[in-house]
Structure 1
């Protein structure tokens, strides 16, 4: 897996693990964080208002990360081809039929 953005962020915050980035604006706040899965890393941007706290957003984010990990297919299920053998040929044929070029 390739984690350059997280590694760069980690180097800026020192030896502590990178847990996310928070910015509080006048009317909205943002929370940016990464979640790992068997298919790679996902980056989530959460925008929230003054009625929510950063602690609550982090709590729900951790629940989301745990839910994604539980729902992710097993790594061994990902070893096969992602597309059918003749996917490109079939796609081109179907698009030609759809747009009247067949």
Structure 2
């Protein structure tokens, strides 16, 4: 359901229903939620990509929260690019080495 939250926040922002700050908060929550799910799943199933995403997605959500709070400033496009890079890169060890840790 984190995907629904992220897409819903984008749609609501595009329809001028949500502020950019609220959209950022929802995006951060979606990535934190996904990261928490990956972390929990990685502990039970042992998949390498789950363990990687379970560590890096929560870190990315902290960076996103700092962006929402204006402690740091960067484009939300960069945030989502980082998300995609982490997601794809987390599968590389499974393709080249092993699936389970």
- TM-score bin, normalised by smaller chain: 0.3 to 0.5
Q: Relative to total residues, which structure has the larger strand share, 1 or 2?
A: 1
Please give the TM-score of this superposition, normalised by the length of structure 2.
Answer: 0.37
Please give the TM-score of this superposition, normalised by the length of structure 1.
Answer: 0.37
Q: Whose relative contact order is higher, 1 or 2, with alpha carbons under 8 Å and at least 6 apart?
A: 2
The structure with the larger Rg is: 1
